[in-house]
Amino acid sequence: MRITVCCSDTKVAPWVEGLQAALPEAEVSEWKPGAPPADYAMVWSPPQAFCDDQQQLKGIFNTGAGVDALLKLKLPPDAVVVRLDDAGMSVQMAEFVCHAVIRHFRELDAYERDEAQAKWGFRKPKLRADFPVGVMGLGVLGQRVAQAVASFEFPVRGWSRSPKQVEGVECFSGDEGFRQFLAGTRILVCLLPLTEDTRGIMNRATLSQLLPQAYVINVARGAHLVEDDLLALLDEGHLAGAALDVFRTEPLPPEHRFWTHPKVTVTPHTSARTLREESIAQIARKMRAFSRGEPIAGVVDRKKGY
């Protein structure tokens, strides 16, 4: 089995060495233009030149959960695209989102401001029942997040494309379900894949349907959000705030209003990091199974875009 590795934004050598150690029977090397044709590839956001060069690939294994950057390319025609499923990301996402929900609900941001002025003052406790949390996307990450938030006794609702049953979560699906989902949500969490159907899904029209004083947590992709619509709704007072981990342009430019907006919290696309060891172990397992013709999880439906 010959495997080529092409990962942008990261040092490639540890990925090559790790996968080689996990698959001693294979020949693993870093992709360079003109490299010999491989059977499988392990990639993150490769350039088009990589696909043009490796048209014979049978499988492309993405080192992330989201495949939006990959599916923008003209891919080798016969390659099956496989994404990471979980690989240590769902627990990170659950802790990140629970933290954001609780920080907002318990007004910890306001206490931080008080602390800076040595001010001792309590705020009146709020009712969890008044803060229903709605998770868009009930896949590997969304379900884990929804159940983690529910464990803190918030009312939790979830929305997906196909109908679902998730314990402790009121589930909605499809276009009709979306309106009902939004109308009863006060804290909105985005964990959708970025596809043609979900691009710009958080916009003035949809965010206006949330309960008054809603809070937005985007941990999926920057292009799910129409940034100017969010800013306008924050400034008009319909939205109470936002915790944003992903942006249309990353790194977020220093002059962007999100950095200084008092109601916006910014983190640098860090809500769930790809963990190298877990990811390599999962990809190696899947490559072996796939080469034996066995079914594997995380195969991407190129038509649906996720």
Which span sits near ligand NDP by CB under 6 A: 32-40, 109-117, 229-237, 266-274? Answer: 266-274
221: annotated active-site residue: yes
Is it true that the peptide bond before 132 is cis, omega within 30 degrees of 0? no
Please, what is the minimum distance in Å from the beta carbon of residue 82 to ligand OXD? 13
- In order of 45, 76, 155, 210, 239, the CA distances from 127 in angstroms are 43, 53, 11, 18, 18
- In order of 103, 104, 115, 124, 257, the CA distances from 119 in angstroms are 18, 19, 6, 16, 28
Q: Does 220 bind ligand NDP (CB under 6 A)?
A: yes
Per-residue three-class SS string for 56-110: CCCEEEECCCCCHHHHCCCCCCCCEEECCCCCCHHHHHHHHHHHHHHHHHCCHHH
Within 162-181, the residues that bind ligand NDP by CB under 6 A are 162
Q: Does 51 bind ligand NDP (CB under 6 A)?
A: no
Q: Does 158 bind ligand OXD (CB under 6 A)?
A: no
2: annotated active-site residue: no
Q: Does 134 bind ligand OXD (CB under 6 A)?
A: no
The one of ligand OXD, ligand NDP, none whose footprint includes residue 218, by CB under 5 to 8 A per kind, is: none
Say how far residue 199 (Cα) sits from the centre of its chain: 13
Torsion of CA 61, 63, 69, 73, to 10 degrees: -30
Q: Out of 46, 59, 64, 241, name the contact with ligand OXD by CB under 6 A.
A: 64
Of 269, 276, 285, 302, the catalytic one is 269
Q: Does 274 bind ligand OXD (CB under 6 A)?
A: yes
Q: Does 66 bind ligand OXD (CB under 6 A)?
A: yes
Count the neighbouring beta carbons within 10 Å of the beta carbon of residue 270: 11
Please, what is the minimum distance in Å from the beta carbon of residue 189 to ligand NDP? 11
Within 139-158, the residues that bind ligand NDP by CB under 6 A are 139-142
What is the contact surface with ligand OXD in residues (CB under 6 A)? 64-66, 274
